[in-house]
Every structure is written in structure tokens, then in C-alpha cells.
Structure 1
Amino acid sequence: MSTLAWFACVSLAVWLWLLLGQGFFWRTDQRLPRPGRRHARGEPADWPAVVVVVPARDEAGVLPLSLPSLLAQDYPGRAEVILVDDGSADGTGGLAAGLAARHGGLPLTVASPGEPGPGWTGKLWALRHGMALARARGPEFLLLTDADIAHEPDSLRRLVAAALDDDRDLVSQMARLRVASPWERLVVPAFVYFFAQLYPFRWINAARPRATAAAGGCVLLRTETAVAAGVPDAIRTAVIDDVALARAVRAAGGRIWLGLAERVDSVRPYPGLGELWRMVARSAYAQLRYHPPLLLGTVAGLLLVYAVPPAALAAGLVSGDAAAAWAGGAAWAMMAGTYLPMLRYYRVSPWTAPLLPFTALLYLAMTVDSAVRHYRGRGGAWKGRVYSGSRAANGGEFASRHGE
């Protein structure tokens, strides 16, 4: 066989392994129980108290779409919302107070923690302040949710019911991201697909877990577990905080569940490629712990797994190399097939599935750009702050999704 055919066969073998041996990452069936499903332990007689903590920095553009949904939660127990205004320059805190006065619902407290302390990232500094205020209220659970996340009225109730029913210390949902623009439809489903490939949800949720992760936009956390895990102090340097949080909870003996959301949505727009590029490039190199050899390995791996199949098919057809064309075509078909469930989840046309190699190359370029930004001293730049250096390596995700 030709060299190209050998590469195509190796890529096909990798896809066979990904299909069957990577926790069925491509399936999208890890969801919270649907409303009306009978819980094993039944409805609790007394619903536990919950405090919702929302870190926010310059979020005036999305708060009118997200905050009222939190205030309108139909929760049978005691619940309230604390929004921590992290040094916003756009009137975020005042807007939040005005929305609460206009919409009513759950009680809202607006607090400000001041500038982050030494060694703290902005979001975790805000969470630290909000969680301290929340713990003074004595809640059994904390809901940590980003300022751009909108919740259906029964969201909190379903999260708490799932945590109680399965005795979980952390229940996290990956909010359904916006897919309105052409670039969002191309990039966003692939983002979640790549994340699930790195951290298969079934492995995270298994009785004997083989992976650990969370989605920072929506995390229900048992208060006593947060104290036992020492969070957020234990992860204060993490730019990519959600996986770091999950690892701290797991290390403290906590049980974790992560799934895709059906009734929790991000309202943050990423209308152009530039916004999406900055979102990913901000922290992609942190996933590789700032190690150049890991960057080189990632580049080689992405090229082998995603670029070789279509290249081998095209070159094989042109040159008459049947083995290269067959192996490349089979690998490309398998790749597209595993992507279809995620496209269905995002209600994106299945005809975009063959474009996954192109999207993967975009992510490859974003990752390389993330490394370049790091070495230029602009790694982790977000909303006027820069977080660079090894301190961001406590995270563990392909890229940060929201916030700081």
C-alpha cells in the first residue's frame, strides 16, 4: 500500500476505536429525567434551600434575557439569587436590581467583591464572595450559573430532584449554546462534540467513573461538599474552572453527574468567527498545560484523525489509489455519522456533518493561536484582564465556554 493509504488506514482504525471504545461519546442521551418521570425516592416532603450564585462582569447585554428566568423559578422550597457584580463598567449591578424590581420573583441580592485578590481569576473571586454570602443563609445546595444562562421555570426543581434522587453532590448541565448565525451553526455543535470526546459523559456519570468534568454555566453543588472540597479556594488559579471544580469535588469523595441540557440555554451571541475564535483561543493552550510537545502532538493527532480521511479520499480518487480512497472515505463517513446526534440535538442540518474536518482545522488554528497569544503575554485575555502562565493549567477542557 502507499504511504497515504497507510495513514488513511490508521485514521480509520482510530475512528473505529472512538466509535466503540471512547464511552459512546457521540451519543446525546445523558439528560436529566423528563418532567413527570417518577423519581425513585419520590418528591421530597421538604425541598432543601438553595441559593443561586451568578458571577457577572459587563453583562448588561444579556442580563435582560437571563436574570428574569432565574427570578421566575418555580421551586417549592426556599430559594434566592445572589448576583456578584465583578467590577462591571456597564451598569450590570444596577440593571440587575432594576430587573428584580420590575419582574419580582425570587429575592435578589446584588453584591460586589472588589478587585480580585492576588492569584485569583475574576470569576472565581466573584464566586468566592457569592458563595460566602450564600453559606451564611444555610442552604443545602448552591446553584452556580453564568450570567448568560437562561433557565426554564422548572430548571432548579429538576436539578435538585436529580441530585436527591441519585444522591449526587454535583449535578451539571451543559447549556444549549446559541446557534443562530452561520458561524455558530458550524462551530458550536463541534465544540460540544469535541468536549464530549475528551470527557465522555457516560464515563463521568458511571458508578465507577473514568473521567471527571463539569459545565461551568450550570452547576448544582451540595454546600457541605463545596466546603469539604475547599472550593473555590482550592481552584482559585484556574482560568478553566469547571473541570477543576469537578476534580476538586471528586477528590473530596463527591459524586458527579454531567449531561446535556434541554431547558437551560445560553443567550450569549457569537455572531461572527472572530468572537468564537477569541472564546476558544483564550484558553485552548491551558488544556495542553502550556507544554509545546503536547501542542505538537495535538496538531499531529487532529491532522491524522480529521484531515487525513477527506484528503485520502480525494487524492485516492484522483490518483487511482483504491486503498487510500476506501479507507479515507470509510473514516470520513464514520466521523460524520458520529457527529449526526450532536447536530440533531442542536437542530442543525445533518448536511453539515461532512464539514466536520474543516471545523476541526479551525479549532486546530485556534489552539495554535492560543499558544502564540500565551508566548506574547496575552494568554487568557478576557474582559480587560489577562490570565497567563502555568496557573491556568489547573483547568482541563478544550476551551472555556463562558465567563472568566
Structure 2
Amino acid sequence: MTVLMWTAVFSLAAWLWLLLGQGFFWRTDVRLPPGGGPDEGRRDVGWPEVAVVVPARDEAEVLPLSLPTLLAQDYPGRARIVLVDDGSTDGTGEVARKLAGAGDAPRGLPLTVHSPGEPAPGWTGKLWAVRHGMRVAREEGRAADGAEPEFLLLTDADIAHAPDSLRRLVAAARLSRLDLVSQMARLRVVSGWERLIVPAFVYFFAQLYPFRWINRPSGRTAAAAGGCVLLRTETAVRAGLPDSIRDAVIDDVTLGRTVKRAGGRIWLGLAEGVTSVRPYSGLRPLWRMVSRSAYAQLRNNPLLLLGTVAGLALVYLVPPMAACAGSPAGGAAWALMTLTYVPMLRYYGQPLWLAPLLPVTAALYLAMTVDSAVQHYRGRGAAWKGRTYS
């Protein structure tokens, strides 16, 4: 047997392990826990006070699509929105005020807009904005009724919510006694590049952080999805958030890990009624979305980078190459890869003929990861909207 054929055997063994031993990462049935179903969300769970914190930097384009869905939340308890304008230059704050009906009759949940100024040294811009928003939300709660909000909903400015989203998140947190409930927002998939890259983004994330492992109270795996995080205020204070993670580039994963280490119970799954409205008009913005944090995910470690490149090549590139060379093991590995990708394509409503093309997508992600390392060593790593973090 040639080296390629032997490598195909190792690749097949890897896929058998991924299929059965990696927390069934490929399944898409991890949805909101008990209390978060469409009907269960109508149960009376006490409906505690919630503050919605929205960090926003140059988001005037997407706010008209996302913010009205937060203003229109059908929530039986007290809730309010704190939008933090993080140094925007496109009128983000003014757009938010207009959408909330500033100067006219308020539209839906009350909203206030705040600006924290430039981040202090050692802080990422988003976490600096979240810190300011959390502080304002707690102060407003104490001023209104003498108590802080029981929960904080941290949601990105590009995320649109179904009318019952907040109700279902709170019901799930209360009935399942969770300290953090996070949903992986359904990203936009319209253009050809989005179809090729976006479902795989969630697929690879779930492979790295299997949802079932995250949701085990005794498990060591921890993560969250930054677009939609319902966080118990008491837990955030106990864990020192967000100060304890102020320099985290991949803040959502670090947030979930910090809450779990502090003894909190966390949950992460795929979204129902939580979607991103941010468009990716070509390969370049998608490339930037992945490459800006890929090397940080590897702790900026060149040895981990080499291992990742070798692993991606073995698992995703060898099977089709070996199959085309006539290797049954390569064909079997490619078939397993294809089958595990089908549920994610169905979740995104995409044609199943994209499944065999996963090696092409993996090659793109490999190139993005290498580019992330190159940009890091050029001093341009983790760049986002005019800011660069070491």
C-alpha cells in the first residue's frame, strides 16, 4: 500500500471516532432545554426583570432590521434595552433612538443609548461596551425598584429575535435552573459564498465544542455563542464578568468557560427564532470573519497551528484525494464526512449536493487559519472595525 492509502486508513479511523465519540457534534437537535419550547414559554415562571445589553459599533445599516425585534419582545415582566454606542462614526446611536421613537410615543420596550468612550488599556472594544452596558443596567434597575435585574441578555446588534425569544430564554433558564443560556444564532445564507462557508462555520464550531458536552454540568467543555447570551446577574458578579475576561478576543467561548469554572450551569444549542441579519457580500468579509480570531483560537501558538493544519489535511483533504486514487478507505471516510454534514445543511435549508464539497470548504478554512497567523505576526491580527488586538 502507498503512503496515501495508509493515510486514508488513518483518516477513516478519525472519522469513525468523530462520528461516535465527539459528542454527536453533527446532530442538530440540541435546542432550548425544558421551559424554552414554544408552548412552555407561555407558562408562568415568575417573569423576573431583564435588561438587554446591545454593544454596537458602526451598526447603522443593520439596526433597522434587528433592533425593532427587540423593542417588540412579548415579555410579561419588566424589561428594558441598553444600547452601548461603541465609538461609532455612522450615526448608530441616533438610528437607535429614532427606531425607539425618541421624542414620540415609545415603541415597545424602553431603550436608552450610552457611549462609554474609548476602551481602557487591556480591554477589547466589545467587552468594554458590555461592561458599560451591564453597569448601566444594574444602576437603572436599582434606581427604578431598588433591585438589579435578575438576568442580562447580551445580544449583538445584528441579531434579530422572534417576538417570544426573551420569554423562552427566561423560561428555560428558570425551569432548568441555568446561569447561562446561549443560542447559536442562525446566520444569513443567501449568496453562493455564504452557502459554501456559513453552515460549515457552525459545523466546525460544534465539532470543537460539542453542545452535549458543554451542557453537562460535570463536563469540562465550555463555550457560549456571543450573539445571544442570557446571563444571570448574580452569576456574572460572582465570576467577575466582564472584567475577568476583558482582553479575550474570542469572548463568547471565554465567557462560557468562566461561568462554568465559577460553578454556574451553562447551556448552548442551535437557535430557534434568533437570526443574524448581517450580510456577507463576498468571500472577503467571510474570510475576515474567520481569520480575525482563528489564530487566537490556537492561543497564537505556532506548534498548535502546525498540528491544526496537519489535522485538517488528514481529516478533510486526504479522503477525497485517496478516493480519487481508488482507495476504499478514502471513499468511506469521504462518505462519513458527507453524511455528518447533511444535518447542518438541512438546518440551514441548503441543497444537499453541497455536502460532498465540504473538503473544499475545509481547504478554505485552512487557508484562513494560516492567513490569521500571518496577520498576527505582521501586527494586524484580530482586527475588527478599525481596532487591532495583540
TM-score band by shorter chain is over 0.9
1:175–1:264 CA contact under 8 A, matched in 2: yes
Is residue 2:290 matched to residue 1:280?
Answer: yes
Deviates more, 1:200-209 or 1:171-180: 200-209
1:126 corresponds to which letter in structure 2?
A
1:180–1:271 CA contact under 8 A, matched in 2: no
The aligned runs of 1:137-152 (5 Å cut-off) are 137=141, 138-152=148-162
1:74 corresponds to which letter in structure 2?
D
**Aligned partners of 2:12 and 2:262: how far apart in 1?**
40
The aligned runs of 1:67-78 (5 Å cut-off) are 67-78=67-78
Deviates more, 1:237-246 or 1:207-216: 207-216
Is residue 2:250 matched to residue 1:240?
Answer: yes
Is residue 2:322 matched to residue 1:312?
Answer: yes
Give the match for residue 295 of structure 1: 305
**Aligned partners of 2:182 and 2:361: how far apart in 1?**
26
The aligned runs of 1:346-357 (5 Å cut-off) are 346-357=348-359
**Aligned partners of 1:255 and 1:16: how far apart in 2?**
31
Give the match for residue 66 of structure 1: 66
Other structure's SS at 1:28 match: coil
**Aligned partners of 2:328 and 2:256: how far apart in 1?**
42
**Aligned partners of 2:44 and 2:344: how far apart in 1?**
32
The aligned runs of 1:217-228 (5 Å cut-off) are 217-228=227-238
Give the match for residue 230 of structure 1: 240
Task: Please provide the CA RMSD for this pair.
Answer: 1.1
Give the match for residue 89 of structure 2: 89
Any gaps of 5 or more consecutive residues in structure 1? 317-324, 389-404
1:342 corresponds to which letter in structure 2?
M
1:64 corresponds to which letter in structure 2?
P
1:238–1:244 CA contact under 8 A, matched in 2: yes
Give the match for residue 340 of structure 1: 342
**Aligned partners of 1:86 and 1:315: how far apart in 2?**
54
The aligned runs of 1:183-194 (5 Å cut-off) are 183-194=193-204
Give the match for residue 44 of structure 2: 43
2:295–2:369 CA contact under 8 A, matched in 1: yes
State the number of aligned residues.
Answer: 377
**Aligned partners of 2:95 and 2:271: how far apart in 1?**
27
Deviates more, 1:22-31 or 1:1-10: 1-10
**Aligned partners of 2:54 and 2:274: how far apart in 1?**
15
- The one-character-per-residue Cα deviations of 1:186-242 (angstroms, maximum 9, x if unpaired) are 100000000000000001112422410000000000000000000000000011100
Residue among 123, 128, 135 paired with 2:126? 123
The aligned runs of 1:151-300 (5 Å cut-off) are 151-300=161-310
Give the match for residue 145 of structure 2: none
Q: Under a length normalisation based on structure 2, what TM-score does the superposition of the two structures give?
A: 0.95
1:212–1:247 CA contact under 8 A, matched in 2: yes
- The one-character-per-residue Cα deviations of 1:252-288 (angstroms, maximum 9, x if unpaired) are 1000000000100000001200010011111100011
Deviates more, 1:13-22 or 1:100-109: 100-109
Residue among 137, 147, 158 paired with 1:134? 137
1:376 offset after TM fit, Å?
0.4
**Aligned partners of 2:39 and 2:220: how far apart in 1?**
31
The aligned runs of 1:103-118 (5 Å cut-off) are 104-118=107-121
2:249–2:293 CA contact under 8 A, matched in 1: yes
2:15 corresponds to which letter in structure 1?
W
**Aligned partners of 2:121 and 2:240: how far apart in 1?**
18
Is residue 2:19 matched to residue 1:19?
Answer: yes
2:41–2:171 CA contact under 8 A, matched in 1: no
**Aligned partners of 1:379 and 1:292: how far apart in 2?**
14
Q: Identity, % of aligned pairs?
A: 75
Give the match for residue 396 of structure 1: none
Is residue 2:31 matched to residue 1:31?
Answer: yes
- The one-character-per-residue Cα deviations of 1:49-75 (angstroms, maximum 9, x if unpaired) are 000000000000100000000000000
1:38 offset after TM fit, Å?
8.0
Any gaps of 5 or more consecutive residues in structure 2? 142-147
Other structure's SS at 1:24 match: coil
1:216 corresponds to which letter in structure 2?
G
1:163 offset after TM fit, Å?
0.2
Q: Under a length normalisation based on structure 1, what TM-score does the superposition of the two structures give?
A: 0.92
Deviates more, 1:242-251 or 1:326-335: 242-251
2:217–2:266 CA contact under 8 A, matched in 1: no
1:247 offset after TM fit, Å?
1.1
